[in-house]
Structure 1
Amino acid sequence: MLKKALTIAGSDSGGGAGIQADLKTFSALGVYGLSVITSITAQNTTGVIAVEDISPTMVAKQIDAVFSDIQIDAVKIGMVSNREIIKVIVEGLRKWDVKNIVLDPVMMSESGSRLLDVEARSTLIKELIPLADIITPNLFEASILLERDVITLKDMENAVKELTKMGCSSVLLKGGHLTDRTLAKLTTKAIDVYYDGQSLLRYQADRVKTRNIHGTGCTYSSAIAAYLAFGFKMDRSIARAKDYITGAIQNSLNIGDGPGPTNHFYNLWKEKGE
């Protein structure tokens, strides 16, 4: 049976992150993708030029339109920039009794543009995070959620335990920016830390030397959602998604004047000899 996954997130006109990255990931992994757009961004590889939010009413109508007609196997939530949008998403998730929720708490773009209102942080923590089966913050996002620096691997292991206390079922803390303090440079391994209230696991891969990392967080989290849609347990979904995002970064695309996107279709392109 065809599996279906929904992304609730912002649109990236540059095509490397957000809704575009999520739908490409779903397609690459064999899942039918649907979307609820929360915001529209004018951006390219060099940065975000402008952001315009969709009205909460329209976000709610998109959610109802999807769930009233189509059986959804997993949901990935990305950019939710204000508290009103967060509230209608929460209402929709409860109304339709949604399962397999992956929340990627997007707060800032790779270029440094803030994508979440400061006022929305408390609403995200109190209302949306408790509904998630897994949240997938990076080090910066975890630092904002916990209001303290999360820098080292030990910090990460402590942070995932604290983050689960916010009510989510599990946490995957992404260590793409993990630094070796002794050498004052990035670690040779890209290490992510997972915790579900009982098991503490590490997922790691060799770090890829490339500047083309735009949309990696979106792609990673949507890959987890895709594998959950197929029925894999959380640990296996993360392991498969880690392999996928590593390959997408290894085959990243040198597009534009800034950090280019990952290559979501690298396996398909390789099959064609391209």
Structure 2
Amino acid sequence: MSYAKIPLMDLQGLGAIAAAAVAAATVPITVLVGRWQVRAAVQAAEAAYRAAVDAAQRQGTDAHAQWRREVRREAYTAFLLAVHQVTRLANAVEDDYHNENPDSTADMERAVTALQNAFFVVLLEGPDSAAVAANALSDAVGARTQFVLSQAAYAGAWMSLIERHRREREANRTAGAVTTQEENDTHARRILDALQELSAASDAASCEDRHRDEGPFHEALQRFRASYEPDVIREHYGEVLYFVTDGPDLKEKADTLPARHQEFMVVARAAME
């Protein structure tokens, strides 16, 4: 076909058809572009929202972690101060055991109560590793306290028995004792001799041996009990038995106090990081 033979009207019709086709093609493209823009905007909004939520969560987590560290720091500090106070009072008792002071006893009771309360706070705040270390340290402090108190009572028993021996010896002299042996033959002297033998047996015995119903310690214990038999009052009897039976075990645990203190410090620092 020759283009020169196409009527002008037909050419105009073709142009209209072409324009309509272009317009028809443009509408879907515009719609797609609009959808893409909306989708991108939604994705951007979602990303911004997630970032805001993540930031808020991180901020909240950081704030909670900081608060937790501060609470634990206060708990650990109070516990260590209570440990120091009980230890200080126990050392004072050991240094001046021959002077029994009711005020010191009351101070010790208050300090031990404060230590128990501080330990319960550590137990509550955690973590478990700190609670375990605090329990071990409390046990060592308790052993130290019991040891020095029982040691003081034991020393007091010795001093009391020596004074009692002096009085009984004077009574023997007044009653007409001729020889030194007769003069020193007192009930208190027999108790002191049995106590000295029992103390030596206690030092040589193991924990198991001290709680057995046979062996050198048990035999020395029976002789000590027999030395008290005629005595109705049995002055200091229980304190002496407690010290020679349980004192060595208490001292062994008390000697771990520095190590238990160091272990708690390590765990506490880790828990506050």
TM-score using structure 1 length = 0.23
Quick check: which one's helix share is greater? 2
Q: Which has the higher contact order (CA 8 A, sep 6+)?
A: 2
Quick check: which one's strand share is greater? 1
